[in-house]
Amino acid sequence: MEPLISVIIPTYNEAARIGRAVRSMQDQTYKNLEIIVVDDGSTDDTRGIVEAIAARDPRVSFVAPPDPAPKRTNWRGYDINAGFAARNYGFGIARGEWITTQDADDASLLNRIETQYELAKKYGADMVTIMWQRYRSEIADKSLDVAAIFKDKGEHAVIIRPEETYRAAVEARGILMREPLHRFIPFTIKWFPYTRKFFFRNTKSYPGADNCMLFHRRVRDQGLYFRPRNERTWGAPSGRGSGRDFAHRVAFETKNAWSFRLPLYLWDVKLDNPDFVGYDRYLI
């Protein structure tokens, strides 16, 4: 039997979409999963929906941490905690040899986890990230023909190797963003436009979707978790960026993070990903 993979789904008041996210994991071609929905203090019917699903599928569980992270918004009204504490709680109780995440308002193509796991085995990776495309209900029950993409595009166009993800981490970190000194500097100074470049050398995204990375539990066991705002070395000037920080940190610390230009994650946004226009021909 293939190893157990733990899927962590943090959620906050996502009753309208949490069922879709959980089903997306239940229907994966990789079946040996534990699907842990970690509630972050919801006040809607999220719990009832998930517990009804769990009653029919023992792989699914609902957990509510005793001390959910306080909601903290930036000047735009965005939650800068963005579920990082809920993810960490899920990481801590995960039993799987591998751990991955799924956002409660999104979905994945059906072979997303199988593909990430097979690529992790093939390349001996500590972490594997893939890419995203816009969520559309008509493709939510599809798989991606990964073999055809490798054949048509070639490995050089699909694979982002560890030396590239490591370099991206180095290039993103500002000259003053050094451990542990930067933690004693208030975030307002890091964010301020005239000092920002000393902390955020660039704000490019991690070269892969940082909300659905698959990583081996040894990454967790060496203490790499999501971090609060002022501890993030690779966060974002907005105050968010917990996933970006985690992905860059794993790439930097392990030097063994691989990414693949395969749009297996379905992000519920309005615009298409321009990098993958025409990829519908690879849906099966």
- Give the CATH number for residue 127: 3.90.550.10
Rounded CA separation 240/42 (Å)? 20
Domain count, the chain: 1
CB 212 within 8 A of CB 112: yes
pLDDT tens-digit profile of 118-127?
Answer: 999 999 999 9
Residue 186 in tokens? 């208030």
Percent of the chain with pLDDT strictly greater than 90: 88
CB-based contacts of 118, cutoff 8 Å, min separation 6: none
The pLDDT assigned to 1 comes to 82
The pLDDT assigned to 240 comes to 87
What is the residue-averaged pLDDT of the chain? 94
pLDDT tens-digit profile of 143-175?
Answer: 999 999 999 999 999 999 999 999 999 999 999
pLDDT (mean) for 92-101: 98
The pLDDT assigned to 66 comes to 82
Out of 81-85, 96-100, 162-166, 248-252, least confident range: 81-85
pLDDT (mean) for 14-32: 97
pLDDT band at 54 (very low <50, low <70, confident <90, very high): very high
CB 100 within 8 A of CB 234: no
Q: Is residue 16 scored above 60 in pLDDT?
A: yes
CB 168 within 8 A of CB 251: yes
Residue appearing with tokens 């917990």: 242
The pLDDT assigned to 130 comes to 98
Q: Is residue 80 scored above 70 in pLDDT?
A: no
Out of 79-88, 210-219, 252-261, least confident range: 79-88
The pLDDT assigned to 109 comes to 98
The answer for 9, left when phi > 0, alpha when psi is -120 to 50, beta otherwise, is beta
pLDDT tens-digit profile of 189-203?
Answer: 999 999 999 999 999
The pLDDT assigned to 64 comes to 92
Rounded CA separation 110/107 (Å)? 9
DSSP characters for 176-244? T--TTGGGGS-HHHHHSTTTGGGTBS--PPPSS-TTS-EEEHHHHHTT-----GGG-SS--TTS--HHH
The pLDDT assigned to 107 comes to 98
Q: Is residue 77 scored above 80 in pLDDT?
A: no
Expressed as residue numbers, the domain containing 78 is: 5-282
Q: How far is CA 146 from the centre of its chain?
A: 20
Q: Is residue 235 scored above 60 in pLDDT?
A: yes
The pLDDT assigned to 172 comes to 96
